[in-house]
Amino acid sequence: MDTEGLAKGSAAKRAPTHRQSRMSQLAENLEKLEAAVAEVCQHAGRRREDVELMAVSKTYPAETIVEAASLGVALFGENRVQEFAGKADELDVLRSRGEGPIRVHLIGHLQSNKAARAAELFDAVDSVDSLRLAQRLNDAAGKLGKRLPILLEVKLSPEETKEGLEPESSGAAQLLEALPDLRHLETRGLMTIAPWGTAEDVTRACFRSLRAWRDRWAAQHPKLRFDVLSMGMSGDFPLAIAEGATRIRVGTALFGKRAPYTGPPE
């Protein structure tokens, strides 16, 4: 009997596959992330269930989303319409099997000429930053017979690369006034991105400012809902939670360092 061959065969069977290793790492990352979020919530005097985790799955394949969903992650964020379109069919199969609720929101900048496709693909758009875009999304959602949840992206950083509404601009005022009449949109709250590489007090001031604008606009526009404060990412979510975030957007801390996007330009 070839005992050496049998031993090698048994070892091969015991060796974890690449997918098993990846799943194991993802489960470990999620466990650490959940523990960290729970600890921050406790220190901030907040309930863990009041802070929603969005897994930012941009540049990762649909398989990774499915794996995270199998571990209990239900909400995902994507940056690009065309990139997510390539994953949507695989996720639709999962949804049709009833293997767990998966919601995918667009969190990246959206050009108004892609509004119709975004309304079709995504469960919500969290980066609305102009009246024109809101009108396009409203028209598209109406044709689809759906009411599309949205967040308003607010620019609270001086960085030129950041997108979003200038909160004191006429554009912001016009959008807020018009939203109650856009019947196929459901305004849910605000989103922002803190400036990169700044001191902790600057980051906290950004998050605090978003909360202040939420309170002001909620008082001025009682027909709109402002339940969601989406702020904080892998590097600064503890500060965001301390300042009132109801949703944090985490990618690297969960999935690991991502490869740069190499798909078609948008």
* Domain edges within the chain: 19-255
- Bridge partners of 91, per DSSP, are none
Average pLDDT over residues 190-197: 93
For 59-113, how does the pLDDT look when each residue is reduced to its tens digit (9 = 90+)? Answer: 999 989 989 998 999 999 999 999 999 999 888 877 777 666 789 999 999 999 9
pLDDT of 3 > 70? The answer is no
Of 257 and 124, more confident: 124
Task: Give residues with Cβ within 8 angstroms of 31, minimum separation 6.
Answer: none
Longest dimension (CA), the chain: 84
Residue 159's Cα: distance from chain center in Å? 21
Tens of pLDDT, residue by residue over 5-47, are 544 555 445 556 767 887 889 999 999 999 999 999 999 999 9
Classify burial at 109, counting beta carbons within 10 Å of its beta carbon; exposed 0-12, middle 13-18, buried 19 or more: middle
Q: How confident is the model at residue 118 (pLDDT cuts 50, 70, 90)?
A: very high
The pair of three-digit structure tokens given for residue 43, joined into one six-digit string: 């220190």
The architecture that CATH gives domain 19-255 is: Alpha-Beta Barrel (3.20)
- How confident is the model over 40-74, as pLDDT tens digits? 999 999 999 999 999 999 999 998 998 999 899 99
The overall pTM is greater than 0.85: yes
Residues with Cβ within 8 Å of residue 240, at least 6 apart in sequence: 194, 207, 231, 232, 248
